[in-house]
Chains A and B, each alone.
Chain A
Amino acid sequence: MTASDVLLQLDGVSMQYGHGETAITALAGVDLSVSRGELVAVMGASGSGKSTLLTVAGGLTPPTSGEVIVEGHWLSQLSARELATLRRRSLGFVFQDFNLIPSLTALENVSLPLELDGWSSKKAHHPARDALGIVELTDRAQHFPSDLSGGQQQRVAIARAVVGGRSLILADEPTGALDSMTGELVLRMLRSRVDAGAGGILVTHDARHAAWADRIVFLRDGRIVDESQPSTVSSLLSGLPA
C-alpha cells in the first residue's frame, strides 16, 4: 500500500466539549486510517464518540488535539475556504435521514455539490447521471425526494456522496431509517462503491451492518478498545456452496 492509497488518517485525535470539571471527552487519542478500497465500520454504544469521530474526520469540527489528514492534506493547515473546497471535492456524507433537498429532483440533489464547486448545472448533470446509474436509479432522475421510497432516497444520497469522483464516503447510520432488506441493498451499493476504489467509514450500532466492512473498530468512552478483521481462512463455511 502506498501513501496515496491512504485517503484518511486520524493521528492522536482528541475532542473535548466544555472546559474544566464539566468538560466531556468525546474522543481520546484516536488513531485510525482508511485506505482506498477499504470500508471501516465504527461501532460503540450511544455516547461512545462514533458520530463525533465522523464529524471530525469530515472536517466539520476541528479536533481539540491531534491531526486529521485527508488525501494528504493536513486539515489544520487549510484555510476555511480551502477546507470547504476539500470537503466538496473529496468527501461525501451519508446521513440516517438522507438530508436531500425536497424542492430539488434526484438529479439536482446529486448535481448540487458540483454546482457549489462552480460547475454549470448542464455540465454537472452528466456525472450526476453517472452517479445515479451506479445506484441503479437512472429512471428516477427527475423524481423529487417525496416521490421516492426511503431506500431510493438513501441511494440518491450515496450517489451525491460519490459524484464527481469523490473518494471518501462518511456514513452515519445510513440504514437506521430503513427496513432490513432495503438497508441491505443500500449497504450493497456502499460496498460496491468502496470496492470500485473509494474508501469509507460506516458508523453503525448494528453488528449485521458493520459486518459489511473490512475492519470493525469499537469505540468506548472515546477510545478505540478493539479492532476486528475477518480471518483469512473461512473455516466456518467450508461446507457451503460458493
Chain B
Amino acid sequence: MSVRQSLLAILNQGPCYGYQLRAEFDRRTGSTWPLNVGQIYNTLDRLERDGLVQKADIDADGQNYVEITEAGRAEVADWLGSPVVRTMATRDELAIKLAIAVTLPGVDIARVIQVQRSATMRTLQELTRTKNATADPESSDQLAWLLVIDSLIFAAEAEARWLDHSESTLSRSRAAGLAAPLPLNTDVPKRGRPARAVQAGA
C-alpha cells in the first residue's frame, strides 16, 4: 500500500513526528491525496509492529519522533525497485455504469457516453489550465506536483479515448443488430452462494 511505503521512504531521510510526516507527504504529492493525522498514526503503529520503524527522541515541544530501522530501509529499497501492480479487483464505477446501461431497455447509451465525455473533458480542461498557470518547476516539490498533475491529465485523456472507442464499438454493434437490451433472466438464481459450476463432461 503506497501510503505505508511513502511514509517509510520519507522517514528514510531522517526521524519525523506525525504532523511533520503528513506535511512532508502533502508537499511531495501536491496535496492531491490528503491524509488525516489519524491515518498517519495508525500507519506508524503498524510499521512499528512490523519492525520497520521505532520510537526515537521526544523534543522540547513534546513531539514524539519516529525513526526507520534497517528492515524499514530494506523495505523502501524493495518498494522503489518493484513495479506497482494494479489489481483487476478495483471497481471502475464508469465501466460498471456503461456495462449495466448497455443491457437496459430504453437507455440512450450514446447520451450516457456524451454526458460523461463532456464531464471528462471539463476535468481535463481544468487540469490543463491549472498546469498551464504554473511556471516551469524550480524545485523538486514543484516537479513532484507536476508529475502528479500530468498523471491526472493522462488518466482523464485515457478515459476520454476509452469513451470514444466505446461509442464506436456501440455504433458498430448496433449496426450489426447486437446491441439489444438484456431481459431479466427468468431462471432465478437460488438464495445463498451460487453452486460451483459443473465441469464440462463431468
Contacts and interface: CB of A to CB of B under 8 A. Distances in A.
B interface, size bucket: 20 to 34
Given A45-B168, A231-B122, A236-B123, A211 B128 contact: yes
Nearest to B129: A230
Contact of A237 (B118, B126, B164): B126
A79 B196 CA distance: 79
Contacts of B114: 218, 225-226
A211 B161 CA distance: 13
B145 A230 contact: no
B160 A207 contact: yes
A240 B31 contact: yes
A218 B117 contact: yes
A242 interface: yes
A208 B129 contact: no
A230 B157 CA distance: 15
A236 B30 CA distance: 13
A162 to B, nearest CB: 19
A99 interface: no
Interface in A45-101: 45
Interface string B12-35: 000000000000000000111010
Given A239-B32, A240-B32, A230 B122 contact: yes
Contacts of B149: 240
Contacts of B124: 207-208, 210-211
B121 A242 contact: no
Given A208-B157, A234-B130, A228 B31 contact: no
Contacts of B166: none
B82 interface: no
B122 A229 contact: yes
A191 B145 CA distance: 22
Interface string B143-159: 00100010001101100
Nearest to B115: A226
Contacts of A225: 114
A144 interface: no
B125 A45 contact: no
Contacts of A226: 114, 117-118
Contacts of B129: 230, 234
A20 interface: no
A18 interface: no
Nearest to A236: B126
A33 B31 CA distance: 39
Interface in B37-90: none
A218 B130 CA distance: 23
A230 B125 contact: yes
Contacts of A124: none
B127 interface: yes
Given A45-B168, A226-B118, A239-B34, A208 B126 contact: no
29 contacts: A206-B157, A207-B121, A207-B124, A207-B156, A207-B160, A207-B161, A208-B124, A208-B154, A211-B125, A211-B128, A211-B156, A212-B132, A218-B117, A226-B117, A226-B118, A228-B121, A229-B122, A231-B122, A234-B129, A236-B126, A237-B126, A237-B127, A239-B30, A239-B31, A239-B34, A240-B149, A241-B142, A241-B145, A242-B133
Nearest 4 CB-CB pairs, A to B?
A207-B160, A230-B125, A211-B124, A239-B31
Interface of A: 45, 188, 191, 206-208, 210-213, 216, 218, 225-231, 234, 236-237, 239-242
Given A227-B118, A239-B34, 18 more contacts: A45-B164, A191-B132, A207-B121, A207-B160, A207-B161, A208-B124, A208-B128, A211-B125, A211-B127, A212-B128, A228-B118, A229-B125, A230-B122, A230-B125, A234-B129, A237-B126, A237-B127, A241-B145
